[in-house]
Amino acid sequence: MSLLPYATAAWLLGIGLYGIVTSRNYIHLIGCLAVCQSATYVLLLGIGYRRDAIAPIFYDHPPGTPAVDPVMQALVLTDIVVGATLTALLLVLALQVFKRRGTLDPQKLKPMHPPSNAGTRDAGPREAGFAGEARPEPQP
């Protein structure tokens, strides 16, 4: 099956997206994003692959030996760094979410809130939380 690697990449992207959409836990969601990311690893390495060729390192083999595509390998290396940085940042955010909300459920986390009593409120300057803090309003 010569098309299997590409089909695998498409499949990984698909199930990763499915996982993100249905996720009920941020750590799981971050894992699903990593699955999507690994789709790109498979795709890039699949594109750069050549049968019966060596890794693109001419230390044990003389230069000129058929080797796989080094560009794709280098791009995957960069891609891995991207993945690592994103995972680190997302885990920080997940940690902060859990500390403040006590939950990791993406379904329970909205940035904005409906106004408490529409239109009539006239909040004074000191009514808001202390500097830089936003106070969640009660959900109706």
Partner 1 sequence: MSPRLRVLLLGLAALVLAPCALAVIAAMPEFGTAIAPYGARINAVAPAERNIANMVTAINFDLRGLDTLGEEFMLLAAVTGTVVLLRGRRGERDGDRAARLPGRAVVPRSEAVILACRIAGPLTALFGLYVTVHASLTPGGGFQGGAVLASACVLIYLGEGYAGWRRGVRSAVLDAIEGGGALLVVLCGLGPMLVGAAFMQNVLPFGTFGALLSGGLVLVANLGVAAAVTAGFSQLVLEFLEETRAPRPDGADGGDDA
Partner 2 sequence: MPNWLVLATEALPAAALPAAALPPLPVALPLLVCALLLIGSRALPIWLPDLVAVLTALAVAALCATIAGRASAEGPLVTWFGGWTPRDGAALGIGFSADAASAGIATFAALLFTATLVFAWNFFDRTHGHFQILMLLFLAAMVGFCFTRDLFNLFVWFEVMSVTAFALTAYRLDDAAIAGAMTFTVTNSLAGILMLAGIGLLYARAGALDFADLAAAVARAGHDPVTAAAFCLVAAGLMIKAAVVPFQFWLADAHAVASSPVSVIFSGAMVAMGLFGLAKLVWVVFGGSAQIRDAVGVFMIAGGAVTALFGGWMALIQRHLKRLLAFSTISHAGIMLVGIGALSQGATAGLLLYVVGHGLVKGALFMVAGILLALRSSVDEIALRGRGRGLAGAGAALGLAGLLLGGLPVGLLDLGARALHGALEAGGHRLALAASLLGTAMTGAAVLRAGARIFLGWGGRPGNEGRAPTLEEQERGNRAYWVMFVPCGALLVLDLAAPTGALVAAAPGWTRSFTGRAALPGDAGALALGAAWMPAASVGLALFLAAFALFGDRVAPAAAAHIRRLHAGPAALLNASHSGLVGDDVVWIVLGLAVLALALAVV
Interface with partner 2 by CB under 8 A: which residues? 9, 13, 17, 20-23, 26, 29, 33, 36-37, 39-40, 43-44, 47, 71-72, 75, 78-79, 82, 85-86, 89-90, 92-94, 96-97, 100-101, 106-107, 109-115, 118-119, 121-123, 125-129, 131-137
Nearest distance in Å: CB 62, partner 2: 22
Residues lying near partner 1 in the complex (CB under 8 A) are found at 2-7, 10, 14, 17-18, 21-22, 46-51, 53, 55-59, 63-64, 67-74, 77-78, 81-82, 84-86, 88-89, 91-93, 95-96, 99, 130
| CA distance linking residue 104 with residue 90, whole number of Å | 12
| CA distance linking residue 90 with residue 74, whole number of Å | 25
Q: Name the binder of 104 from partner 1, partner 2, none, CB < 5-8 A by kind.
A: none
Cα torsion 27, 33, 39, 41: sign: negative
Residues 97-136, buried b or exposed e (16+ Cβ, 10 A)? beeeeeebebeeeeeeeeeeeeeeeeeeeeeeeeeeeeee
